[in-house]
Each structure stands twice: as C-alpha cells, then as structure tokens.
Structure 1
Amino acid sequence: MGEHKNKHFYEFERFRIDPVKRLLLRDGEPQPLTPKAFDILLVLLQHRGGILEKDELMRAVWPDTVVEENNLTRNISALRKALGDSPNEHQYVVTIPGRGYRFVADVRELQDEDADLIVETYSRSRVVIDEEEDTSEPARLNQDLLQKPLLASGGKQSEASWRRLPVFLIVGALLVGLTTALSYSWMSSKSKEAEASSAVRSMAVLPFKVVGSEADEEYLGWGMTDALITRLSSVRQIMVRPTNAVHKYTVTGQDALAAGRELRVDAVLDGNIQRSGEQIRVTVQLVSVRDGRPLWAEKFDAKFTDIFAVQDSISDQVARALTLKLIGEEKQRLTKHYTEDIQAYQAYLKGRYFWNKRTEEGYKRAIEYFEQALERDPRYAQAYAGLADSYALLGSMGNAVLPRSEAMPRARVAAEKALLIDETLAEAHASLAFVRMHYEWDWPGAEREFKRAIELNPSYATAHHWYAYYLVARGRTDESLAEIKRAQEIDPLSLIINTDVGEMYFFARQYDRAIEQCKKTLELDPEFNLAVRHLGWTYLQKGMHKEAIAELERSVSLSEGRRDSTALLGYAYAVAGKREEAKKVLAELKEIAKRSYVAPFELSLVYTGLNEKDQAFAWLEKAYNERSGSLILLNVDPASDGLRSYPRFADLVRRVNAKHETHPINN
C-alpha cells in the first residue's frame, strides 16, 4: 500500500489500526502481531458486522498460495491474543460454526492528517513478527467439529475456541518502549521462542477424570490419557512419563502440581471428560510445574464419534504450546489414527483399562476386549499389540494361569500381526522381543526387536526395562545397568523398575548397591512384594541368613503363598542350614503340584539349596522342556554357582544359548 495525504485509520475501543504502517496500537502502545494475522485483521475490519466465509478469508490473505486451514486457525488465535480476548469469551473476532468469522466490535474509520504524530513515535519500534508458513500436511484442526455445542447441560451453548499458546508474550513485553531496528526485534523474538522451547523437556499426562458419568465409563478417562501419552511420546524432543507412572493419580481432586513434582517433570497435562449420550466435552490444561503458570488451556465440545479429532487437536496444540519443532515423521505419528471404527476404539480402551490393572483377571478381561476390537476392525494394529502384551505377561505369571506353551505363541502371533499392519508400533516390537528372549531364546532376534522398539519410541520405559534383562542374561552387566537406569529415568516412580535396578546390581554381584536400591524402593511402598523378596535374596548372598529369612518369610505372606516366593524361602532355609524347614517347603510345593501348576524351576531351586544335585538337574530338564523363562538367567544367577562346575550345567546353558560373554563367574 502506498502513502496517502490523509491517513486512513480504524479505531475500536482502545485500539487503533494503521494500515499503511501496519501497526496495531493499544492505548498508543504497539502490539506484537504476525504479518498474516495483521492481514486477517484488515480483511475482517473491511467486512465488519458480516460473516466472512473461511474460504473467502483465506483467498484474500493467501491469494496465490494453497494453504491448510490450520494456518488460518493459528493466525486467528494470534490475532485474538493480540486483542486480549479471553479463552472463554471472544469480544472482537467471533467464530461462526461451520462457516467462518465475524468482527463484532463498533469500528470507526478516520481520515486524520495529524495522526502521523501519534503513530510516528512508534514506527521504528513497531512489533511485526516474522512467521513461517506451514504448507506441509499438518495435524488438521477440525474447527467446525469442535465448535458444536454440548447438549447435556441445558445451559448456554458453549463455543469451543482453539487457542495457541502465546509464545511471543515475553517478546511483546520486552519490546515495549524498545527503539532499536525491526531486525533486532525479529532476532529477539526468535531467541525468546527458543528459550521457551527449552524450558519444558519432560511432561506427564495425568489420568483424565470422567465427570458425571457412571463408574463403568472410567475407561474413557484412561483411554484419553493413554492415547495422548502414546502420541506425545513419539516426539523425541520431550520425555513423556508412561501410563504406568501416572496410574496412581486416578484419585479425583488430584493436585496436578504436586503430581508433577513427584514425577519430576517440567509440565503436566490435566483434564476431564464429560459425556452425555453421544456428546462429549473435554477440558484440558497444560501447566508449568515450576511456577504453576498455565501454558495452554482449552475446552472441546464434540460428538463421541469425533473423539479422534479431539485427540489430534490436543496433541497438536500441546506440541505448539511447547514450541516443539516436529519433523515429518513425528507430525504423522502425533495425529495417527489406528482405527476409524468408534466401537472398535471403545473396546480397545476397555482392554487397555483392564490391562493396566496388572492382575490375572485384568489380563483375561483385556484379552476379551482386544478381541472384540479386532472383530470390528481386523486391521487394528494397536489391538493386536494389546493382545501380545496381555498374553506375554499372562504366560509369565508365577502361577502360570495360562500355560506358557499356549500364551507365548499367541503373544508372538499377535505381535507379528500388529507389525504386518504397522511396522512402527514400538509396543509390538517390544512384545515380540520379550517372547523371543523369554520363550524362544532367539537372542539375535530379541535384540533386534528391542533396539527397533527403542528407536521408534525412546520414551517407552518397558522396552528399556526388558532390554536390560536381555543384556544381563548375556553377561553385559554394565550395559544392563545403563538400560535399567534409563527406564528408571523415564518412569522414576515405577516400583517394578526401581526393584529391578536392584536386581541388575544383584546379577552384577554388587550386593551392597542392590540392598540400598531395594530399600529405596520400599520407601516408595513398604509392602511391595518383589522388593521385599529381592532384598531377602540379596541378604542371603551376603551370608546374612537371619535377615534373609525374615524378609523372605514376609514375602511369602505378602504374596499370599505365590509358588516362586515359597520356593525362594525353601532355598534360603536350605542354605542357612535349616534343612527340615526346607524339606517341608519342598513337600508343600509337591502337594500343591497335585492340584495346580508349580513351575519345575521352583522345585529345582529348593533341591539346589539342599545340595541334591541329581534332583536339581532333573527338574531343570523339565524346566527346559517347558522353555522356562527363568533359565535365561542361569549363567549370571548366583544361586546356580553350586551347579556351575558340572558338565550337565554347561550343556544346559549351551542349549538355552545363554552362554554369557563378559561376566566372570566366581565359584
């Protein structure tokens, strides 16, 4: 636009717009605004009072360029921020659902020769922020969809607004009164944006609360939580706490900041879901843990069948709020849909809800729901991954509620089907690796799958956790410690991971460190059975028999008679010279075996403690025939030291292919 003799201005309330100098002034002070947002403001002012269709607005602002609607949405948000609109009430730019926008303020047009004096003061320090047009395939923000009203409350229909975090807020404040050149302003804005981006390096998605719904819809909250964790974990620039880490925060009225501090993260995403029939309302906020400052907040109203669009938008907006720079593959994973069948998705949510209970009954219920999901959508890769997880863990339970010979092959088949559909599923790679390590003893195949899982999702704590077992079984103890500590870094409150840090020290024969770590875990939960058991087991290797037996007896009590805990106690009795007590345990296990399953490895353990080597080897052979997962640790387990010099032991280790490579065994 060229200069005119008489300047043309727009004024409304506290604002004045100079189209020639491209200034937005509020009470005489320049406001930061991107060039395209300024263009949008001018077009809206020219069509004030009327509805401006989205397509018409985009053609006016980007006349020779094909752009995504997301660009318009983002610049509308920037404009609203500059005008001081609140998230819940738009005073100036109002969205017309399904159509476009309307500028509703009373506007005056002025021709003012003297206005030069007003604006010239600020012309050298005006705030115009460069922007980078995003013409790639971004996460689509379904603006029309998310502005549909929720019909449940009967109150005033709400209009959902999509707002971007004001990442230039600090820049705008610094530039007030700044009299340096425009180039310096631009450089300052970029510097501050980078600073904002570096402020958040870790976050947690807390369990979404289900408001005003029946208890049987609790899975909706967990489903939203799990989906967002999965999506955001695909972004390598930020560490996201896994689902297991946030499970304890399901209590209504949770303190988000306290949870964030306990989880040791920089930010927390917290929200709730309200459902009424087929309508849902999702309210969500992202908060800085350091100072409680809100980084972003929004309310979404939609049909339940459009919940995928809500998840897309939340993920995208969180990434923008944290000023994360996403590569193409990350953008795709951030808004990836694994199914479009809403009933299949609901079944999957219920499956994950029960899987997260980590109980025998929970795994069984999870399998039922994952299979229901696959009946609806046979190409639902995540449902196959859920099946693989469920069968793998069900077949590994100490009481073998499902024979390993059935559970593990089913887990492998499910994982392979998931990967045929979608090779990028980290969970499926980890489950397949678990089966290959724990059941098939395919060591090269297991390591390949573990590495691929970690490559796809470096924040997947379970992959690091299981890979640590692979490494220690191969005698690579230093690497195993590094891997388990990486899992602990991702999920610092996980009881099982914290316990297994101690177990890695145990297999490395660093017993004092193992004891220290088990005690730290018990500070988190004094009755966590595995930590109690590992503490007793480590005491035993140090010759602290009295302390060992006390902890192992407590473990049997806490586990309500689990066979593996009972067998460890029997071994401890034998090593401590309490042979009669050890034989009683052996007799008890054999009696139980008449009516239910007892793992052969557990019987071999008690015989090893009693120094009855023929019986110990006989039961180890039975464990081999069942492909017992316990055999993978034979070569590093101190409990096997009494058998290590026998040729039968070397032959067994060779057949399991668990010959370790670096760790010297002290007989």
Structure 2
Amino acid sequence: MSSFRFGEFILAPDERKLTRDGIELPLGARAFDMLCFMVANRHRVATKAEILDDVWPDIAVEESNLTVQVSALRKVLGPKALATIPGRGYQFVLTVEEYTPVPVPAPDTGKRETAVPRVLVLPFTNTSSDPDQEYFSDGITEDIITDLSKVAALSVVARNTAFTFKGRAVDVAQTARDMNLTHVVEGSVRKSGNRIRINAQLVEGAAGHPVWAERFDRDLTDIFDLQDQITEAIVAALKVRLVPSERRAIQSRPTDNPEAYELYLQARYHHTRLDRQNFAIASRLAQQALEIDPEYDLAWALLAISQTGLFGLSASAEHGLQAAERALALNPDLSEALAAKAFVLAGLGRFDEAFELHERSLQLDPNSYDVRFLYGRTCFQTGRHEEAILHWERATELSEADLAASSHVAMCYKATGQLEKVLDTARRTLVRAERVLAENSSDSYALITGVSALAKLGDAERTKQWSLRVKAVDPDDPSIDYNIACAMALLGETETALDTLEDCLPRVDAVTFSVWIKQDNDLDALRDLPRFQRLVGDLNARAAAATA
C-alpha cells in the first residue's frame, strides 16, 4: 500500500507508522486504524457506523469509543484534521499526497534525509517585453508541475501552493527548510513572436546551489518537445528513473497543435482571475482553441467550467453542460468537467446524480479550486452547510484570487451559529477585495463582495459608499442589485432592500436565484414580510415555467 503525506506528517499503513518530520509518533492501534480508514476515504464523509465497522470489526462497542479515538487523532494531528459533520459522521480534511517511498541520495546537511525527492516548482518569471505574455510563463510552469506529478518517485508541491510564491522574492534555502523540500525548480520564459527562450534550473534545497541548469531556444512549434525535454532533464538530475508508463504519460499531449495550446493557456490564465468578465474571455478563447482542435479535451473542460461560472444555473448553462459532456466523452476522468456537469444537474434538481459526480471529481482532484467551489455551492444550495464550509474554506486556500468562496462561506457559518467566524470571513473577504481594487479600482466583483463584507461587519457608511461605486461601474447588472439588497437587509434598511429586490428580481435568471434565495440568510430579516413573499413567489413561478 502507498504511503501518504499530509503537511509534515507521513502515514505508512503497511509499516503501521505515523511520523512527523521523521520522528515516529505514538498512536494507539484503534486510533491508527481509524486514521488509515479516514485517509483512505478522505474524499467523502464517513459515517459513524462505517468507522465503527472498520475499526472494531465483529465487536459491538459504544459510540463513546469512537469519540475517544477522534480526540486522540485531533490531539496528534491538530483540531482541524477531522471535521465533524453533524448528523452524518466525520471527514479527513487535510490535503493528502500519495506516493511510494523510494530511497534516493541526499546531500549531507546534518539533517534528516527525506524518503523521496520533494520538489517545489516556482512560477517561472515572464521576461518578455509584453506583460500580457504572463499567461504563457504561467502555463509553462503549470504544465511542468503536472508532468513532474506523473512520476511516482517524486513528491511535487501542488500548483496552487506553488503559485502563492508568484511575484515574491524567495529564499530557496529557507523555503526548503520550511516546506521540507529537497529541491526547487525556478526559471524564466521569454516569448517573442514564434520564438521562445526558457531558462530553467534545479536547485538543491538546503544548500541553495544549482544541481542542473540549462537555456532552451526554440520555435513555438517545438513547445511540446521542449516541455518534455525540461521535465526529463529535471527527473534525470534528481537521479530518478522513469518507468515506460511514466515516460509515455509525460510525452502524451491533449493537443498536437501549438496554436490551440497557446489559446488554451490564455483561456486558463483568464479563468483563474475568477470574475464574470474573465470567465467570458476564457470561454471565448477556449472556443477558439476548439475551432482549431475539436478533440482538445482540456479545452472542452475549461469551456464547461468557465460557462458554469458565467451563466450559473440559467438556461444558458446548457452550453456548459454540453461542453462538459463533450469533454467527458473524450476523457471520462476530467475533474473540472465532472464538477461542471454536477453543478448544472443540481440546478435541475437531480441531486443524487450531482453529488455522485461531485464525489468523483473530488476523488480525481481534491486540490482543484473549481472542484471545491462548485461542490461547496451545491452543498450550500441543499442546506448541507458543514460540508459547504469544508469545500469553500479549502477553495479559499487554493486560490488567493478567490472572492466568491470567501464571501459565501460566511452564510454557512451564520447558518451553523458560528457568528464570530462570520465576522472573521467578512474581514478576510474585505482584505482580498481591497487587494484586487488596488490593482483595478473598477473591478465590479471585488466591489460587490466588499459591499457584502462591510454590511456583515456593520459598517453602514462604507457599505453605502461602495454600493454607489459599484453601481457607477456596472449600473445594469441585476446580480449586483441583488447583493446590494442583501446588504441593505443586513443593515436593517428593510424598505430599501425590498425596493431593490422589486427592481432586480424580474431581471435575474429565475432558475439560479430561486434556488439561491432559499438558502441566502442575508435576507432572513425579510422572510416574514408579505411583500418579500410575493416577490419570491413570482420568482419561483418564473423558474417553474423555465424548467417545465
């Protein structure tokens, strides 16, 4: 059986060992068995009955025994490792990396050696004269991370963690110590017309000296061979031997067309900006890539997930569903396509199918922002607030650009009575919104999430100021008006909230908002009012007609 790494811990089930920084930790037999079960089933909620059956087979025990083992594990792993899902069970929520330990030589630094090379690929720097070429350097970085992750004998830091270092000066030796790394990959990309220059080097972590470095000058048409060459050079420098299946996996490409690939990289870059304007750009670029290569499965998946973000659950989301199904026909294991399809099915009320697809997408890629965000949204819409918290909090960790999950999760904390966390998440969201606005003062999504955060914090004056700002930027978007109405309701300005809802609800997509408004506790102060009930009744009638 494989071993598992989560944070500084390594779980080796076959050896019945749990270590932290190389030191074996004392853990009782039942607690160890429970940990193995929870890690193996980390992609879902494990019921108490399932855990009892696995840890105490053929023995009738009281549920209090389970509580004792949960406490023991939390004491060792930290209080957040196992999340309690009220009425259902527990879920292991730490990020897990699976690997097979392979002894490799390591430099003599006087410190503990690591079982496998653990590698961080820092975001490659864009040294082109055009800052708009950033998408290309980001894309090269992501693909190198993806290719290295296909090598079983390597432990590669996930993309989302790696990109937290983007734009920062990095002390390689200190970062290696902090993250228990053996090596760091860094480099730069310069693209000019159809010519590419990539400088890359592999740095030994503790000492900070280069193990391998090379400069590559190629035509854009050679980009795929170039990526293979860089990946295989890094693997060779790490003294790891590729097995044939790994070499084939690295050399396999979802498209052979460099132009389609470049359009896909641009689309992926815009999608990570996580706002409606960039979702629209990402959708358009993905469609252009597909016009060149209709069999490009990743482009279909990106189109699906971008259109889901762009259209929500509206009738137009049918295009996202079609794109997801096309992607899955080409590759049934594309996590984002599964997540997009699940989300649309949930909007159609097909929840059993939706949750099954969400679970599959999570098993395939638990570190995907899109997978986590959409799963959280479906959980929220069905009142599964504790699970929504798990997914949305993980989404905020996976993307520093996120505003949506950070903002939405406050409603889940309110629904579960965790009022201090409502304020904490509002403060976090406000900080993120202000960071976006420092770069682009006209970002309407950052402004409206700031409006919501300020209202939750009770800052009426700034809430109204920001509301005026966002209306000046985007006066016609009914979803912005809806969120302003929510803010006014939170501030106790009932008539203003109702007037705003009366204006905007006839203009919103009825399917999306009829589902959302049922769970939106920002509007709880209005629910008993006849005028609000009439507005919601009209909205539900339109939704029913649209789905008839």
Class of the TM-score when normalised by the shorter of the 2 chains:
0.5 to 0.7
Alignment of 1:318-467 (within 5 A): 318=234, 332-396=248-312, 404-406=314-316, 408-437=317-346, 439-467=347-375
**Contact persistence 1:341–1:377 (CA under 8 A):** yes
Match of 1:566 in 2: 481
Q: Which amino acid aligns with 1:200?
A: R
Structure 1 runs not aligned, ≥5 long: 1-166, 175-191, 397-402, 540-546, 629-654, 656-667
Aligned to 1:33: none
Q: CA, structure 1 residues 320+571, in 2 after alignment: closer, same or farther (shift >3 Å)? A: same
Q: Relative contact order, CA 8 A, sep 6+: which one is greater?
A: 1
Q: Tell me the residue number matched to 2:105.
A: 168
1:290-329 map, 5 Å? 292-294=208-210, 296-318=212-234
Tell me what 1:518 maps to: 426
Letter paired with 1:272: S
Q: Which residue of 2 aligns with 1:483?
A: 391
TM normalised by structure 1 equals 0.53
Question: Does structure 2 conserve the Cα–Cα contact (< 8 Å) formed by 1:282 and 1:301?
Answer: yes
Amino acid at match of 2:314: R
8 Å CA contact 1:296–1:321 kept in 2: the answer is yes
Partner of 1:553: 464
SS at match of 2:315: helix
Q: Please tell me the residue identity of whatever aligns with 1:309.
A: D
Q: How far apart are the structure 1 equivalents of 2:266 and 2:230?
A: 21
Verify the 8 A CA contact 2:273 2:401 in the aligned structure 1: no
Change (3 A) 1:493 1:348: closer
Distance across 2 between alignment mates of 1:471 and 1:228: 33
**Which digits, 9 at most, give the CA deviation of each residue in 1:271-322, with x for residues without a partner?**
2223456443211234577764546533223332221122223334445666
Structure 2 CA distance for aligned equivalents of residues 327 and 449 of structure 1: 32
Contact 2:173–2:207, Cα closer than 8 Å, also in 1 = no
The structure 2 residue matched to 1:535, chosen from 446, 449, 453, is: 453
Q: Which residue of 1 aligns with 2:141?
A: 225
1:43-75 per-residue CA deviation (whole Å, 9 max, x = no partner) reads xxxxxxxxxxxxxxxxxxxxxxxxxxxxxxxxx
Partner of 1:80: none
**Equivalent residues, number:** 421
Q: How does 1:269-288 map to 2 (within 5 A)?
A: 269-275=185-191, 278-287=194-203
CA distance in 2, matches of 1:570, 1:479: 27
Which amino acid in the other structure matches residue 619 of structure 1?
D
For residues 610-654 of structure 1, what are the alpha-carbon distances to aligned partners after superposition, in whole Å with 9 as ceiling and x for unaligned?
4425413323314633779xxxxxxxxxxxxxxxxxxxxxxxxxx
Q: 2:87 maps to what in 1? A: none
Higher percent of residues as helix: 2
**1:170 offset after TM fit, Å?**
2.4
Deviation at 1:366, TM superposition (A): 2.8
Name the counterpart of 1:246: 163
Separation in 1, partners of 2:252, 2:361 = 18
| Stretch of structure 1 that moved more, 375-384 or 500-509 | 500-509
Partner of 1:44: none
TM-score by length of 2: 0.63
- Aligned Cα root-mean-square deviation (Å): 4.4
For structure 2, the residue ranges without an aligned partner over 5 or more in a row are 1-103, 438-445
| SS at 1:458 equivalent | coil
Q: How much has 1:224 moved relative to structure 2?
A: 1.3
2:538 to 608, 611, 619: 619
Give 1 or 2 for the bigger CA radius of gyration. 1
Does the aligned pair in 2 maintain the 1:242–1:460 contact within 8 Å? no
Would you say the 8 A contact 2:199–2:214 is kept in 1? Answer: yes
The Cα of 1:341 is off from its aligned counterpart by 1.8
Distance 1:461 1:366, change over 3 A: closer
Percent of pairs with identical residues: 24
User: Would the alpha carbon gap of residues 507 and 347 (structure 1) be closer, same or farther in structure 2, given more than 3 Å must change?
Assistant: same
Instruction: List aligned pairs for 1:133-152, cutoff 5 A.
Output: none
| Cα 1:259–1:409 shift into 2, 3 Å | farther
Aligned counterparts of 1:531 and 1:512: Cα–Cα separation in 2 = 19
Q: Is the 8 A contact 2:172 2:184 kept in 1?
A: no
Q: What is aligned with 1:200?
A: 118
Given that 2:106 and 2:113 are in contact with CA atoms closer than 8 Å, whether structure 1 keeps it comes out as no
Is contact 1:208-1:225 (8 Å) kept?
Answer: no
